[in-house]
Amino acid sequence: MNSNLIIVAHERPATVHTLVTALTAVGYQAAGALTFRDAVALLRDCRPALLVTNVTLGAHSGLRLVLRAAAESPDMKLVVMGPANAEVEDKALALGASSYVRYPASPEVVVDHALSALASPVPQARTRVTVANAS
């Protein structure tokens, strides 16, 4: 596992670019994926310490990606971003996400939750987060 690498999976290129840039600025290596398939390949090839994923990745579910990542790398930390939906939040947390960050969320908030997830011991602390748009 690469303890300095974070993968960001989101279907919006601007969001991936913004989060990769913000995570790099705080000292981590970060790589982005725009599709489920690309995210799976990065997870397999790079073995990151953290996956930050959107709840949807095109026609695929980001929660499916979380389930796969948790099964293949139990010590990988997971942060899920998505709309306010208690059922989806509960499912993300049950699958092992450290936190669920509701939209809209600023890049700084996502980075804060990524860093908190990386700092938390295994098993991961599970938190529900509601965030107002700061940008």
Of 13, 50, 54, the residue nearest 34 (C-alpha):
13
| Cα–Cα distance, 30 to 41 (Å, whole number) | 15
What's the CA gap between 76 and 116, in Å, rounded?
A: 13
Q: What pTM was computed for the model?
A: 0.88
Is the confidence at residue 90, as pLDDT, over 60?
A: yes
Three-state secondary-structure class, residue 49:
strand
Distance between CA atoms of residues 7 and 9, nearest Å:
6
Give residue 18's pLDDT.
97
SS3 103: coil
- pLDDT of residue 97 exceeding 80, the answer is yes
Pairing of strands 29-33, 2-9: parallel
Q: How far apart are CA 51 and CA 97, in angstroms?
A: 9
- 63-82 per-position pLDDT tens digit: 999 999 999 999 999 999 99
Write down all domains in the chain, each with its CATH number in brackets. 2-129 (3.40.50.2300)
